């Protein structure tokens, strides 16, 4: 009987809200003193549905991730959706 019953759980991410959160995160990175003179960027590949963070050090990548997650939460997207 259990083999006859099933359900699927799917979660769709609102790409417009993700783009808005990325724009806000990029603005914050541009104004932060600890990122002055460093290359730090977010790269969104919509076709492959991937998001990559790049910076010169691991600590800056962690800071980028924290900034992005805070912006996602403000836009109503769960941080775990990444």
| More confident: 56 or 8 | 56
Tell me the per-residue pLDDT of 63-73, one tens digit each, with 9 for 90 and over: 999 999 999 99
Helix (H, G, I), strand (E, B) or coil at 31: helix
What residues contact 81, with CB distance under 8 A and at least 6 apart?
A: 11, 13, 72
Residues in CB range of 17: below 8 A, 6 or more apart? 75, 76, 77
16-71 confidence digits (pLDDT tens): 888 999 999 999 999 999 888 888 899 988 887 888 999 988 999 999 999 999 99
Cβ burial 60-80 (10 Å sphere, 16+ → b, else e)? beebbeebbbebbeebebeee
User: Is pTM beyond 0.85 here?
Assistant: no
């Amino acid at each position: 009987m259990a083999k006859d019953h099933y359900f699927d759980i799917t979660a769709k991410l609102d790409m417009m809200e993700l783009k808005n959160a990325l724009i806000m995160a990029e603005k914050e990175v541009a104004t932060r003193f600890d990122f002055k003179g460093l290359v730090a960027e977010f790269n969104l590949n919509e076709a492959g549905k991937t998001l990559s963070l790049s910076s010169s050090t691991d600590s800056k990548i962690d800071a980028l991730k924290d900034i992005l997650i805070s912006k996602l939460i403000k836009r109503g997207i769960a941080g775990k959706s990444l």
